[in-house]
Amino acid sequence: MHPINPDILSLTLPELEAAMPQHPKFRAGQVFDWLHRRGAQSFADMNNLPKTLRDELSQAFYIPKVETVKKLKSKTDGTVKYLFRLGDGVLVESVLMEYSHGHSVCVSTQAGCKMGCTFCASGADFARDLTPGEILRQVYAAGQDCPRVGGVVIMGCGEPLDNFANTMRFIELATHPKGLNIGARHITLSTCGLIPQMQALAAHRLQITLAVSLHAPNDQTRQQLMPIAKTYPLKDLIKTCREYVNKTNRRITFEYALAKGINDSHTQAKELASLLKGLNCHVNLIPINQARGQFQPTPKKETTAFQETLTALGIQTTIRRSLGGDIEAACGQLRAGQQEMDNLNC
């Protein structure tokens, strides 16, 4: 069972101060520092606090637990894939990625996912939403394996905007100057296109990067790949994206996973360019995940041709560098495999 008491790692500094009215405000600052800078695993670790205060905190709150079940490191690019078990036993995944500009952590916001995209391995066996503290703990755990975490990608298991309030609180805490202190422009949030939540996100005018999973230039193809497309057609989604850009003055990234013979033709590239014409955006072409075995990735030559067509028609496009291919770095693969093992051991 999930603890009944609140997750203290999910509280803002003012909320911590309000939760400790009988103590000086600087005590809340000390607690916040222990949680977000020193990585306290328990209240007993906070040895510069009075024992009475530590006892009070332990009775009123809990610190989310993150146990590393499996850690795999790529021999080719240094990417590290983590399988974490949370306090109530649910499994989540995270990835530490190294770039020329520093390290970023890809985090999960849910255990499993409700969206059911046919090419994604993370949608099996949805368990629950994660708390902001549980999302943060993934960053803190992965951060032990690098000098500094400079960026966060909210693109692991789950749909971040389906866990809207907790994802927003995570961003607030991750950007706090007394916490991770990550600049908003170093945070990327991925969504399959939940229009009401995208509109709510736009209202906050955050300077994060929004990545929209598109994967098709028309409703017919997109509905085959993504069930959510039956609820939110492309016409409405692209309109929402244009409104988002106008409100935030931030360029949108469109994720487009190329599947051989499904969404990778020259005609579809031209259709995609027409769909996105005039929108401040960038298209990120991705080799499709073969975890479920339903699709084959588009060959390199055809991928390059798809990119060249978009570029020629005025759409900024890159091909994502594939990381961690030798360690099952696609979201959901480790979790699914571990759950099968757990079931066999029952």
Q: Which positions are catalytic?
A: 93, 331
DSSP, residue by residue, 114-176 = SS--TT-STTSS--EEPPHHHHHHHHHHHHTTSS-EEEEEE-SSS-GGGGHHHHHHHHHHHT-
User: Environment class of residue 140 by beta-carbon count within 10 Å: exposed (0-12), middle (13-18) or buried (19+)?
Assistant: buried
CA 213 – CA 206 distance, rounded (Å): 19
Decide: helix, strand or coil at residue 305. Answer: helix
Place of tokens 């692209």: 238
CA 70 – CA 77 distance, rounded (Å): 18
